[in-house]
Structure 1
């Protein structure tokens, strides 16, 4: 085969064979195809799109480009969850122990964040002593014993995706549904999950800004799952404002503990219950989402989910005492309250700007490998639709560098718009995509 022929075929809108896609990805991963040819192919895909079969073939070719994790020794149906990303999206820290407490094994391979705040691994590393890199046998053993294990994403998992993503980033081919979908699903499939629940964020603080595009992405990923034998369900959730109140690593760990204790931001808890309900149904522990929700609430009320979080922390070397005493998490030296300059109803909260403020405080990275301040971040104290008095707190910001506070405070204040008229709360759950298509939940 020749890369030139495959590029020309896709350029002309002709469907590629599975074998052609497999050869192309294998050769590119082995550095046998130069970046300029792969860039041409990516641009052809960007304009011509891909069929479901092509997208599935691309997904499996990238998944098989590296190590395929085998979780067959772990009893039960392993269900993984993936979020397309958002601000104050603390769901993994809550979902993993909650679902594991219900008896569904949760095996997570997560990355570090590049952007507003740290990724799941950064958040967990805010827990003193937590071991975020597990050997494969440790990962499997923990999963068998505790039904939960989380480790850093291995470079051996879907290496073709890493190479392709870096190229897409500099060739203006990021915004392609087949390329986005195959990128996400290749890593989930290579990580060994039997079934997959996707949290597709929609709104100003999400990658997918409008519902129509989010539905298309969700439907594409669900169809990939069907074609490769991994049942997949996607839930569309709103990101018109930060999901939780906490934006920042140790702050989000604390909020996760609050939710698992039966408190915390109601919107964050609701999204976690919706996603976890789908995971229990796929994992065979409940017949319906409604029945699953009852189980999950019982696990929170009885503190079993919180105990599972402590068990998980202990199993990976972390200080289990933080479950009952969050003062042992990293604490910022400086704090500043951001107040409203007028009264009225909160009309919008620009999630992306709030996230940017958290990054400027030190909670996120502007470039790969940058050190982050695990204690820095924002605690949001308002929600869309809430009435705010003049000088009422909008947020409290935290950092170990006091020179960052004033600029971040200005960004937070500008991110919150206030109107004299009442404002309705935006819907939180926008729908669900399963094998039968999109439905309003």
Structure 2
């Protein structure tokens, strides 16, 4: 039986323990939703104040040059690159995940003009499926094909232009074998686009080692960039001069301030810029990413595994009689950094937890999902969260009608 003292002993030996002090965490809250919205880094507060009061308020438009606003997408992309095993010039911060998916799906299919299939799996994150389906409308010769994860490699054929997958599944937390799938795609002459939204900042990723072609990722989950933070995209170096974005906005031009009528794509990754960068959001994201500068991803992964093991063990010990079904793989090499349980009454249970100060989230139709963010979570938090969950399940308080009402955001 794991005890609270056992959890505190693990925290005392935690090499990442001091990083928690670099976040603003509300008193009385155990935050298990950093896989949906990361917590606020304390450095972001001062950085945003400087961005608003000095850079915008005093320096005004001069800040595009004097404070390098114009270089922020490339500068911040270079800081993300080590977290995903990429070279600095292969990553740029721009737009949202959805917009970046559209850009890369269209660009990739144009590199394989004789192929017509875009391959993915059912249950992929909705924006990935919706965007790919939208591309099929824009490019009617291309069709979205959906295959079960276990059949994906067998489904790759001579008509496959692109395989598009989320590296870590947003519901289950299951992780695809990036190297194996990428190799199979390349052997068949196809490209692969990886969505790293539930991977980056949570588990080690090595795009270059796997030979990955293209990737996108989210800035507001484990990177702690703030609500609606800009996303990023990756294009492998040797593809950059032949691939072209379908959204040829002025910031992706080779010489945007020459204001020419004809479009000439910028060299390298910068051609995937589109409109004017959202500077305040970019600088907030940069504060979150800077926290990773002195932290090894292996240490983050090790703590994630430790938090997961404690959570799963405590659920079995404390809540074993209440019908919670673990759907996340136990093997740390086969999962991300959240843990998910199926329960037919997941929604009201999640709301009862929030009332008690334990913030996780719910994914329809029946998934309780808990983010295990190693930078600011303690083992003590995990122990206490499961204890509170056990009290809620034992008491049946979640059956009260007030917990049944659905909110706009779950």
TM-score, length of structure 1 as denominator length: 0.26
TM-score, length of structure 2 as denominator length: 0.27
- Greater RCO (Cα-Cα under 8 Å, separation 6 or more): 2
